[in-house]
Amino acid sequence: MNLRYVTNSPYCRKVAIAARLLGLEKRIEMLNNETDFGDAVRSQNPLKKIPILITDDGQPIYDSSVIVLYLDNLSDGKGLYSKDAHQQARVMTNEALADGIMDALGPLSQGKKLFPAEQISAPRIAHQRSKIDKGLAALEGALSSSMKDAGAIAVASMLGYLDLRDKQPWREKHPNLAVWFFAFAATTPGFAETAPGKL
Ligand SMILES: N[C@@H](CCC(=O)N[C@@H](CS)C(=O)NCC(=O)O)C(=O)O
């Protein structure tokens, strides 16, 4: 399998952490291209977004959540998703929330690269900022220390990205989330291995 990625992408980090927790990282060839939005691999996603995984039989898979689920299914049920319907929905909702916060942060950080700063209006910034603040508030207390599921991976990747790109002091407002994040980072070797600049 090939994974097309860029170094600081939190969505790519999600996939990379999941692959490590599932013991699949050696089966994935990592293909980096930081600059070319039209490269041959990325172009297999019509949305031109990464990560994109190309399976051994050449099938392109995106987005990051679908890739994580695909890897989970390949891994003989080590299980980043609970089999219990309610618990699985909880895991996937945490993942969706973390992805949504990353999506909201995108126009505030990556957006500046893609579009001139003056095209990012103050109301748009406030709209995006509110999603980030409310999303973090919803996650406060939603995670337990032992969690290493797809939701936890996404939340940790998102918080790592906030620390990289956003200058807001989120830990003061969300102390339980801060404690959870510290424990996840300390007990998940794949987290340090996939830190910004390391992938
Ligand atoms: N929902 C997608 C989001 C992926 C995404 O936004 N990736 C960014 C890089 S971090 C990207 O490719 N942006 C380029 C674009 O939006 O055109 C996922 O979970 O994979």
Residue of the nearest CA to atom 10 in ligand 1?
9
Is residue 96 domain-shared with residue 185, that is, in the same domain? Answer: yes
Q: What is the pTM of this model?
A: 0.94
What Å distances lie between residue 131 and 4, 124, 136, CA to CA?
28, 11, 8
Is residue 70 domain-shared with residue 95, that is, in the same domain? Answer: no
Domain boundary among 50, 74, 98: 74
The boundaries of the domain holding residue 154 are: 85-189
Domain boundary among 74, 105, 131: 74
Is residue 68 domain-shared with residue 9, that is, in the same domain? Answer: yes
Give domain status of residue 80, yes or no.
Answer: no
Give domain status of residue 197, yes or no.
Answer: no
Q: Report the candidate in 45, 3, 62 with the shortest Cα–Cα distance to residue 194.
A: 3
pLDDT higher than 70, residue 59: yes
Give domain status of residue 110, yes or no.
Answer: yes
Is residue 63 domain-shared with residue 128, that is, in the same domain? Answer: no
Per the CB < 8 A criterion, the answer to whether 21 and 80 are in contact is yes
Q: Report the candidate in 97, 194, 104 with the shortest Cα–Cα distance to residue 143.
A: 97
Give domain status of residue 70, yes or no.
Answer: yes
Mean pLDDT of 160-183: 94
Using a 6 Å cutoff on CB, does residue 99 contact ligand 1? yes
Is residue 125 domain-shared with residue 175, that is, in the same domain? Answer: yes
pLDDT higher than 60, residue 111: no
Mean pLDDT of 51-60: 97
Confidence of residue 147 (pLDDT cuts 50, 70, 90): confident
Look at residue 112 in the predicted model and tell me its pLDDT. 58
Residue of the nearest CA to atom 1 in ligand 1?
63
Is residue 109 domain-shared with residue 54, that is, in the same domain? Answer: no
Peptide bond into 46 cis (omega under 30): no
User: Which of 43, 49, 115 gets mutated to test ligand 1 (max ligand atoms within 8 A of its CB)?
Assistant: 49
- Give the DSSP per-residue string, 132-144: HHHHHHHHTTT--
Is residue 95 domain-shared with residue 68, that is, in the same domain? Answer: no
* DSSP label at residue 38: T
pLDDT higher than 80, residue 116: no
Amino acid at 9: S
150 Rama class: left (phi>0) / alpha (psi -120 to 50) / beta: alpha
Domain boundary among 74, 99, 119: 74
Mean pLDDT of 113-136: 82
What Å distances lie between residue 113 and 47, 118, 188, CA to CA?
17, 12, 31
Confidence of residue 160 (pLDDT cuts 50, 70, 90): very high
Give domain status of residue 194, yes or no.
Answer: no
Task: Give the CA count within 13 Å in the CB-facing half-sphere of 158.
Answer: 28
Give domain status of residue 79, yes or no.
Answer: no
Q: How far is CA 199 from the centre of its chain?
A: 13
pLDDT higher than 90, residue 2: yes
Confidence of residue 186 (pLDDT cuts 50, 70, 90): very high
Give domain status of residue 196, yes or no.
Answer: no
Is residue 64 domain-shared with residue 112, that is, in the same domain? Answer: no
Residue of the nearest CA to atom 5 in ligand 1?
49
Give domain status of residue 106, yes or no.
Answer: yes
Give 60-106 pLDDT, tens digit per residue: 999 999 999 999 999 976 689 999 999 999 999 999 999 999 999 98
Is residue 138 domain-shared with residue 167, that is, in the same domain? Answer: yes
Burial 58-84 (b: 16+ CB within 10 A, else e): eebbbbbbebbbbbbebbeeeebbbee
CATH number at residue 24: 3.40.30.10
Mean pLDDT of 147-158: 96
pLDDT higher than 90, residue 145: no
Sign of the dihedral through C-alpha 67, 69, 72, 76: negative
Q: Give the integer Cα–Cα distance in Å for 72 and 75.
A: 5
CATH number at residue 120: 1.20.1050.10
Confidence of residue 118 (pLDDT cuts 50, 70, 90): low
More confident residue, 148 or 119: 148
Total of domains in the chain: 2
User: What rounded mean pLDDT belongs to the chain?
Assistant: 92
Is residue 29 domain-shared with residue 103, that is, in the same domain? Answer: no
User: Which of 4, 5, 11 gets mutated to test ligand 1 (max ligand atoms within 8 A of its CB)?
Assistant: 11
